[in-house]
Amino acid sequence: MLENFIYYLKVERRYSENTLVAYRKDINQFMEFIAVNDKEAFKRINFRDVRAWIIELKDHSISNRSINRKISSLRALYKWLRKEGDVFDNPMVKIVAPKTEKRLPHFAKQSELNKTQVEVSIDDFEVFRDHVIFEIFYQTGIRLSELINLTDSQVQPAYIRVIGKRNKERQIPISQQLFQLIEKYKSIRENEAIDATYLFVLKNGKKLYPKLVYRKINSYLSQVTSLDKKSPHVLRHTFATHMLNNGAGLETLKELLGHANLAATQVYTHNSFVQLSNIYSQAHPRGQKTN
């Protein structure tokens, strides 16, 4: 049953491998707790069984955020079981997800990232590659998985064509300066006689792996900011926050980030409040600060 469900998520819903791994783990955990492993047994499960599992998770100090993810996995399973006609009663209807604190995204200041605008030597392939990767993260806000899977043909003079979650495609505008930087990197890669399937590769032509990219971005950010978190995703948050602070609308930002709904984008409005406060104090005659 579980493998059929995972196959459905992969083929029809086009979920990523990471999401599939998480769903399989969550549902296996529930099945072990409730001691069931087939469709017939799932027909006998009620909301009290699910609540008992949630209490068990809480007793083991599992965070509300993680519990909510597990509940979402179970909701998706029961939705599929009903679609297949294997169950009629859905115990998840009476399950209320525990509240979670909204974590505000970490982002670097614009003044901090100005320090990264330096000339980089073209003599070192890896150094120049890492510089271009940093610039793409900051100037486009793409995800780590999206960057790793970029190919040469996805880069055009005015935009980058990105394949996001569930194979959803979007176009992100890029500056002429960034396009020229990418072209220079490709020229260096060719001079090194590196045969590459993907845009960004190791010196041997093999695909980049997430831990390497994480390390490189962490090193870059460590030089300019004292943030606790220094990752590619922080640059995605930074891109979004700086875009909003400089006048971009939420709908536009939603499309650029590849969010499925506006709720995911609205978290960045909290980070932009300082900017709004500054504009208010400068623009309103009675809002101006006095010395």
Please answer whether residues 107 and 234 qualify as being in contact, where contact means their C-beta atoms are separated by less than 8 angstroms.
yes
Residue with tokens 């984008």: 265
* Element containing residue 267 per DSSP (H, E): none
What is the distance between the alpha carbons of residues 191 and 187, in angstroms, rounded to a whole number?
6
State the catalytic residue, choosing from 24, 69, 106, 165: 165
Q: Is 60 a catalytic residue?
A: no
Q: Is 259 a catalytic residue?
A: yes
Q: Is 236 a catalytic residue?
A: yes
Q: Is 268 a catalytic residue?
A: yes
What is the distance between the alpha carbons of residues 143 and 222, in angstroms, rounded to a whole number?
20
Please answer whether residues 68 and 50 qualify as being in contact, where contact means their C-beta atoms are separated by less than 8 angstroms.
no
- Residue 195 DSSP one-character state: -
State the catalytic residue, choosing from 24, 161, 186, 233: 233
Q: Is 237 a catalytic residue?
A: no
DSSP string, 149-169: T--GGGB-SSEEEEE-GGG-E
Quick one: which of 153, 152, 115 has its CA closest to 134?
115
Residue with tokens 């399973």: 77
State the catalytic residue, choosing from 70, 143, 216, 237: 143
Residue count of the chain, please give it: 291
State the catalytic residue, choosing from 70, 129, 189, 236: 236
Q: Is 215 a catalytic residue?
A: no
| Burial class for 108, CB neighbours closer than 10 Å (0-12, 13-18, 19+) | buried
Angle, to 10 degrees, between the axis of helix 17-34 and the axis of helix 2-11?
160
Beta strands in the chain (DSSP E): 159-163, 169-173
Q: At residue 169, what are phi and psi to the nearest 5 degrees? A: -95, 140
The residues annotated as belonging to the active site are 143, 165, 233, 236, 259, 268
